[in-house]
Amino acid sequence: MNIDYLSLRLVELPLRSPFRTHQGLIKKRTLIIVEAGDQAGRKGYGEVTAFAEPFYTSETIQTAWHIISDCIVPTIDFQKVMHPFDFPEQVTGIQGHPMAKAGVEGALWDLYGKQTGQSLSHMIGGSRKRVKAGAVISLSDSTAEGIKALEEKGYERYKLKVDIGREREIIDQVKQISPDLPLMIDANGAYTEKDMDYLQTLDEYGLIMIEQPFQAGDFYLHQQLQQHLKTPVCLDESVMNFHDAKQAIQLGSCQVINIKISRVGGLSAAIKIHDYCAQENVPVWCGGMIESGISKAHNLALASLPNFSIPGDLSGSDRYFQKDLVTPGIQMENGEIEVPSLPGMGVEVDESYLERVTKKSKIFGLS
């Protein structure tokens, strides 16, 4: 690859409305946009989707900025990266920090696609031209109005963020509004071992799955629950890399895995997990991080792989933000989103808007 420079931008995107889980309230989304450029003027974009506070994983926007600036850029010989698949091997000496690594690798994938004239989906072996979209309903959403609006748009899977102690109340509300809604709940690790028997009673609702009921890394409790639960357990935060995915499947800790490019360390790792899950007949779906259209475009390419059989946290550009970073924006029609087919991630970055929402930036010469 011809990589001339790498730049970082810290941006803040206003949300249409606050997004609340039991872990906290998000009013604006802070992200790091990574840009990789070559001497011919082509630009590739990636995105670091860590949050400002370490409530989802231990990474934050601040730690990711530090790791990229002070560890990845100074120690990696980018001239030895001939293909984006080479990047993960280059950063094995840096422990952890998958979101920082994923942001840089994403920019390399986009740039490589533009240099070779290939779409991201084509490069990774994607087979779908359109992918099915699923909606996330936060605790700050108006349940009745929100669900009706989302149904009208055609979303094909609905994920409820849970408020501990009010699960049945919220599920019952949804069932009264739309009894046949394809529904799942996401606990973000909020339950403990004492909730084991209670969680088993949720089988009566016929949920698609229960996502990440226990703390990240606790494969034992998830295994015990799945052995006594008809509803599939899905792992999210517990799967930080390929080894975690393999361990979870071999131990029987889940029946479904949520793959997030940023959480597992990049597109290369996400593909590897997808392939292994397909081999083991474990369905996967693509999770979201309240991210911009840059990440959404990468997610759409990933979700075009054949084992992504469950609608993911995929939505149009107007779902969360007043204005997205990509133009003309990612559109959802009848519950589906078209997988971009142009070179690289397949969407254009609105550079003037990107400049307006940038809070700080840094550029690194690499040639």
Residues 283-300 pLDDT 10s: 999 999 999 999 999 999
**CA–CA distance, 154 with 319 (Å, rounded to integer):** 13
In a domain, 333, yes or no: yes
Which residue has 């979201």 as its token pair? 288
- Note the maximum CA span of the chain: 61
Q: 44 has which bridge partners?
A: 36
Same domain, 113 and 129: no
By annotation, the residues acting in catalysis are: 161, 260
Query: Average pLDDT in the 112-121 region?
Result: 98
- For residues 86 and 134, membership in a common domain is answered with no
Instruction: Provide mean pLDDT across the span 191-205.
Output: 96
Are both 65 and 110 inside the same structural domain?
Answer: yes
d(CA 260, CA 60): 16
Structural domain includes residue 227: yes
- Any idea what the CATH number is for the domain that residue 284 is in? 3.20.20.120
Task: Read off the DSSP letter of residue 71.
Answer: I
Whether residue 34 contacts residue 104, with contact meaning beta carbons closer than 8 Å, is answered with yes
Backbone angles phi, psi at 298, to 5 degrees: -65, -40
Residue with token string 């109340």: 169
Q: Which domain holds residue 16?
A: 5-117+349-365
Residues 104-133 have a mean pLDDT of 97
Same structural domain, 353 and 294? no
Encoding tokens for residue 200? 């088993």
Higher pLDDT among residues 142 and 87, named by residue: 87
| pLDDT tier for residue 164 given thresholds of 50, 70 and 90 | confident
What span, in angstroms and rounded, lies between the C-alpha atoms of 64 and 99? 7
Please tell me whether residues 329 and 237 are part of one structural domain: yes
The answer to whether 99 and 49 are in contact (CB under 8 A) is yes
Q: Is 344 contained in some domain?
A: no
User: 152 falls in which pLDDT band (50, 70, 90)?
Assistant: confident
Q: Which two tokens stand for residue 186?
A: 């996401």
- In this prediction, residues 240-248 reach a mean pLDDT of 98
Look-up: residue for tokens 């959404």? Answer: 296
Do residues 86 and 173 share a domain?
Answer: no
In terms of domains, do 90 and 177 share one? no
Query: What is the CATH number for 90?
Result: 3.30.390.10
User: What's the CA gap between 132 and 115, in Å, rounded?
Assistant: 29
Q: Is residue 343 part of a domain?
A: no
Q: What percent of the chain lies above the pLDDT cut of 70?
A: 96
Q: Is the pLDDT at 79 greater than 70, yes or no?
A: yes
Q: Is residue 150 part of a domain?
A: yes
If asked whether residues 45 and 163 sit together in one domain, one would say: no
Beginning with the edge strand found earlier in the chain, give each strand of the sheet holding 5-21 in spatial order. 43-48, 24-37, 5-21, 358-365
Task: Note whether 73 and 131 are same-domain residues.
Answer: no
Same-domain check for residues 272 and 312? yes
Neighbours of 24 (CB within 10 A): 12
Position with higher pLDDT, 150 vs 102:
102
Q: Tell me, yes or no, whether 156 and 247 share the same domain.
A: yes
Q: How many domains, in total, are found in the chain?
A: 2
In a domain, 137, yes or no: yes
| Rounded Cα gap, residues 63 and 65, in angstroms | 5
Does some domain include residue 241? Answer: yes
For the chain, what is the mean pLDDT?
93
Q: pLDDT tens digits, residue range 8-53?
A: 999 999 998 766 655 566 778 999 999 999 999 999 999 999 999 9
Mean pLDDT of 326-344: 94
Average pLDDT over residues 47-60: 94
**ω before 232 within 30° of 0 (cis)?**
no
The closest of 237, 245, 233 to 271, measured between CA atoms, is 245
**How far is 51 from 58, CA to CA, in rounded Å?**
10
Both 178 and 315 in one domain: the answer is yes
Q: Is the pTM above the cut of 0.85?
A: yes
* Residue 310 DSSP class: S
Q: Rg of the chain over CA atoms, in angstroms?
A: 20
Q: Which pLDDT does position 138 carry in this prediction?
A: 66
pLDDT at 27: 79
The CB density around residue 323, as the number of other CB atoms within 10 Å, is 16
C-alpha triplet 177, 181, 184: angle, nearest 5°: 115
